[in-house]
């Protein structure tokens, strides 16, 4: 078994009860920082030794050396900055040498105390360029520039306790625990497999081949911290992993979960992943095609080359010590009923494959997913988490000026949908029950539960920022469909018998209203028969998208 990165596993978990009690008592007297979700993941891996040799958040010297050279100031390889970012206001309230308690945002529990070594303002543009290659569409750069605080705090940590988890605790092993388990099982060589996606037969095949090739055992080590936005939730994935692990030869593989906040940093992240797996006791690490890459930008340009990760990890192989196992794509040969590495398949041989896009389509449509591709137990889990379109929820947002016909259309749609839709509840949210602050959460939860939601702010319409927040939130739970009601202002005023447009609220509604440019549908409700036309257009669209079947 390899020694941890830097020679010592920096397991900071305080097991001396009097010392831990003293830290807890001290924490009650200190200023606090409530950690973000990313910081919480980073803290756990600092404390449990997964980030060895780190014993705290990066100081300015380490941060700049990582960005410039992919090394700590001491010279040891480290490719991703691990920073405690805070707002300017928070940063100015702390000073060097001060001790600050870091708290779990979920229950306010004290997790560690940081002794401030320095407080510094990073050059985020340089960090974006050097660490993530500078494309503003890269998810890590968007997080860096739009979400992360503008100041960083560096310093050593005194541990109080690890963050508390209530799910899959039997699979949440620390590096020390896994290393001990490998020793007790006499696993001298361990191949680690990184994944943030469900696993299917091809993944099982390629990992078994890697283990046999290296005469090693397998560590299936999926990420259950933060991954790429839009990825399948970790609960669904872990259920899949629990089924997949049963399909390996007895005693070959072990499942353990990694609470990592991925940055999707491609080649730099692959080096980071290799270091982490070495700390967890692996001797070999499978590096895949476009490893930890977020795909491509809106112009179709890939953020990273397909083999950049393998190249960079190989460059540092002698220092990292962990051996790289290149990912070998496999494909199914239907005539032989087996999988084979794609580079060993003779020309002209019939092959079968299903892409991620095709898999999502089959889940959405409820069409067959063949057993050669995935195990029935896995497919059942995925279908439960991702039901076909007729069972999925959706939100229909009606965007229009007050008195444009939004109110009448919303009631007509609700009645129409309920007339022929069995099994899906249809909820109408209008001015009578619209709360702008809670709207994104409420609609998202309804859609996630499979309901159909019609949102019709007849007078108290949403501004551009509120609309954007609503759409972004709901889109994470299901489909968000916008119908732009383009009835002209003079027609709306003619329909206004209450004098609304002459009030301050009416003037405000007109000033913030704008036609939605990315609306899926549009309708002009000027004529008395227009509502019937709009209903037909909307119903046909929903049928075409698979939400209704007639």
For 438, the token pair is 């809670």
Number of H helices, E strands in the chain: 20, 18
Catalytic annotation, pick one of 38, 103, 179, 196: 196
Length of the chain (residues): 550
What does the alpha-carbon distance between residue 182 and residue 188 come to, in Å, rounded to a whole number? Answer: 7
541, with CB counted inside 10 A (0-12, 13-18, 19+), is middle
Catalytic annotation, pick one of 69, 90, 115, 197: 197
Catalytic annotation, pick one of 59, 195, 217, 283: 195
8 A C-beta contact, residue 84 and residue 114: yes
Q: What is the DSSP string of 242-281?
A: HHHGGGSPTTSEEE--B--B----HHHHHHHHHHHHHHTT
Annotated active-site residue 196? The verdict is yes
8 A C-beta contact, residue 444 and residue 473: yes
Are β-strands 452-456 and 338-341 bridged in parallel, bridged antiparallel, or unpaired?
Answer: unpaired
The DSSP symbol for 522 reads E
- Backbone angles phi and psi of 174, in degrees to 5: -80, 165
What does the alpha-carbon distance between residue 252 and residue 199 come to, in Å, rounded to a whole number? Answer: 17
Which residue has 């290149």 as its token pair?
326
Are β-strands 479-485 and 99-103 bridged in parallel, bridged antiparallel, or unpaired?
Answer: unpaired
For residue 100, give the 3-state DSSP assignment: strand
Which residue has 């029950």 as its token pair?
433
- Angle, helices 406-420 vs 530-544, to 10°: value is 50
Annotated active-site residue 90? The verdict is no
For 344, the token pair is 């060993």
Q: What is the DSSP string of 159-216?
A: E--PPP--SSGGG---HHHHHHHHHHTT---EEEE--SS---HHHHHHHHHHHHHHT-
Residues known to be catalytic: 195-197
């Amino acid at each position: 078994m390899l020694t941890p990165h830097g020679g010592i596993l920096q397991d900071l978990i305080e097991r001396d009860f009097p010392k831990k009690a003293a830290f807890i008592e001290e924490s009650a007297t200190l200023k606090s920082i409530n950690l973000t979700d990313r910081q919480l993941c980073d803290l756990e891996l600092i404390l449990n030794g997964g980030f060895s040799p780190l014993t705290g958040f990066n100081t300015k010297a380490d941060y700049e050396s990582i960005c410039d050279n992919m090394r700590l100031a001491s010279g040891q390889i480290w490719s991703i900055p691990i920073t405690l970012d805070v707002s300017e206001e928070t940063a100015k309230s702390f000073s060097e040498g001060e001790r600050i308690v870091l708290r779990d945002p979920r229950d306010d529990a004290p997790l560690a105390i940081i002794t401030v070594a320095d407080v510094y303002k990073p050059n985020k543009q340089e960090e974006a360029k050097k660490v993530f290659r500078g494309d503003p569409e890269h998810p890590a750069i968007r997080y860096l520039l739009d979400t992360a605080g503008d100041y960083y705090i560096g310093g050593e940590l005194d541990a109080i306790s690890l963050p508390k988890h209530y799910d899959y605790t039997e699979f949440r092993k620390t590096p020390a625990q896994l290393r001990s388990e490998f020793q007790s099982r006499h696993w001298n060589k361990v191949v680690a497999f990184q994944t943030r996606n469900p696993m299917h037969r091809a993944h099982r095949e390629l990992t078994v081949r890697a283990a046999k090739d290296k005469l090693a055992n397998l560590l299936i080590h999926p990420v259950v911290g933060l991954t790429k936005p839009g990825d399948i939730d970790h609960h669904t994935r872990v259920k899949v992993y629990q089924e997949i692990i049963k399909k390996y030869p007895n005693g070959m593989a072990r499942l353990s979960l990694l609470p990592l906040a991925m940055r999707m940093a491609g080649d730099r992240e692959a080096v980071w992943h290799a270091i982490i797996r070495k700390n967890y006791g692996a001797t070999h690490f499978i590096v895949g095609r476009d490893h930890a890459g977020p795909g491509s930008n809106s112009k179709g340009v890939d953020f990273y080359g397909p083999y950049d990760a393998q190249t960079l990890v190989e460059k540092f192989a002698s220092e990292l010590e962990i051996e790289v196992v290149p990912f070998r794509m496999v494909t199914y040969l239907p005539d032989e009923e087996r999988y084979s590495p794609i580079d060993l398949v003779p020309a002209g041989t019939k092959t079968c494959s299903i892409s991620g896009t095709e898999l999502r389509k089959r889940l959405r449509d409820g069409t067959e997913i063949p057993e050669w591709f995935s195990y029935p137990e896995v497919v059942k889990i995925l279908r439960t988490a991702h039901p076909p379109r007729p069972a999925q929820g959706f939100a229909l947002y009606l965007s229009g000026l007050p008195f444009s016909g939004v109110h009448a259309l919303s009631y007509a749609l609700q009645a129409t949908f309920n007339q022929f839709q069995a099994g899906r509840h249809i909820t109408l949210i209008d001015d009578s029950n619209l709360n702008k602050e809670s709207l994104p959460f409420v609609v998202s939860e309804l859609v996630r539960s499979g309901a159909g939601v019609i949102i019709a702010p007849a007078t108290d319409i949403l501004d551009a920022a509120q609309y954007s927040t609503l759409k972004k939130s709901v889109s994470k739970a299901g489909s968000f469909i916008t119908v732009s009601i383009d009835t002209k202002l003079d027609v709306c005023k003619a329909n206004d018998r209450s004098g609304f447009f002459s009030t301050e609220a009416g003037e405000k509604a007109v000033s913030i209203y704008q036609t939605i440019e990315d609306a899926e549908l549009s309708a002009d409700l000027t004529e008395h028969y227009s509502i019937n036309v709009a209903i037909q257009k909307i119903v046909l669209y929903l049928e075409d998208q698979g939400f209704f079947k007639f």
